[in-house]
Amino acid sequence: MLIPHPLLGLRDAQEFTYLGDASLLNRPDASSPDAAVAFYDYVYLRDNPAGVHRELWFHEQGDRSWLIVTRNTLTHEILNAELAFKSAVKSEVLA
């Protein structure tokens, strides 16, 4: 597979380490009253869609940036790749 790195262009998937569902970006608030339940969901529950999936890839053999890659798990077509850093900043601003 080839991953279109937003800064470096098409890179071979072998340069990356895979983590999983991009929902891992949404770490719960530890001070909230339902933190225990929220963390349980966060750590253990994932969607595993047959189709479009937003997921985290780490460019470990490259520039060490974490990417959010939008991939169709049926066709392996990659629809988008963005820096997780930027997305994380954006969602914090929105929150």
Partner 1 sequence: MTRLTGGVIDHETALRFTFNGKTYSGRKGDTLASALLANGVQLVGRSFKYHRPRGVLSAGSEEPNALVTLRGGAREEPNTRATVTELFDGLVARSQNHVGPLHRDVMAVNDLLSPLFASGFYYKTFMWPRAFWEKLYEPLIRHAAGLGRLSGEADPDAYDKGFLHCDLLVIGGGAAGLAAALAAGRAGVKVILADEDFQFGGRLLAETHQLDGMPATSWVTAVMAELSGLENVRLMPRTTVFGAYDHGIYGAVERVSDHVSAADGEVRQTLWRITAKRSVLAAGATERHIPFPNNDRPGIMLAGAMRAYANRWAASPTRHPSDPVIIFTNNDDGHRTATDLLAKGVPVTAVVDPRDDAPTFGAYELITGVVDDTKGRLGLTSVRVTQNGQSRWMPCGALGVSGGWNPNVHLSSHHRSKPVWDEALLAFVPGKDLPNGMIVAGAAVGQGTTAKALRSGMEAAVSSLAALGISAERIDLPDADDTAAAQTAFWHVSRKGRAWVDFQNDVTVKDIVLAHQENMRPVEHLKRWTTLGMATDQGKTSNISALAVMAELTGKSLPETGTTIFRPPYTGVTLSVLGGGDTGKHFRPTRYTPTHQWSASQGATFVEVGAWLRAQYFVQPGETHWRQSVDREVLAVRRGVGLCDVTTLGKIDVQGPDAAEFLNRIYCNMMGTLAVGRVRYGLMLREDGHAYDDGTCARLSENHFVVTTTTANAALVYRNMEFARQCLWPDLNVSLISTTDAWAQIAVAGPNSRTLLSRVVDGFDLSNEVFPFMACAELTVCGGLRARLFRISFSGELAYEIAVPARYGNALMERLAQVGADLGATPYGTEALGVMRIEKGHAAGSELNGQTTAQMLSLGRMVSEKKDSIGAVMSRREGLAQDKRRLVGFRPVDKSEAIVAGSHLFTQGETRNTTTDQGWITSAAYSPHVGSSIAIGFLEEGDARMGEVVIAANPLEGREVRVEVVSPHFVDPEGGRLRD
- Binding stretches for partner 1 (CB under 8 A): 1-2, 17, 19, 24-25, 27-28, 30-31, 35-36, 39-40, 42-44, 56, 58, 60, 64-66, 75-78, 83-85, 88-89, 92
CB 13 within 8 A of CB 90: no
User: Is 47 or 93 the residue whose CB approaches partner 1 more closely?
Assistant: 93
Q: How far is the CB of 39 from partner 1 (least distance, A)?
A: 5
Residues contacting residue 3 through CB under 8 Å, at least 6 positions apart: 10, 11, 12, 13, 16, 57, 67, 69, 78, 81
R_g of the chain, CA atoms, integer Å? 14
Q: How far is the CB of 15 from partner 1 (least distance, A)?
A: 13
Q: How far is the CB of 95 from partner 1 (least distance, A)?
A: 11
CB 72 within 8 A of CB 90: no
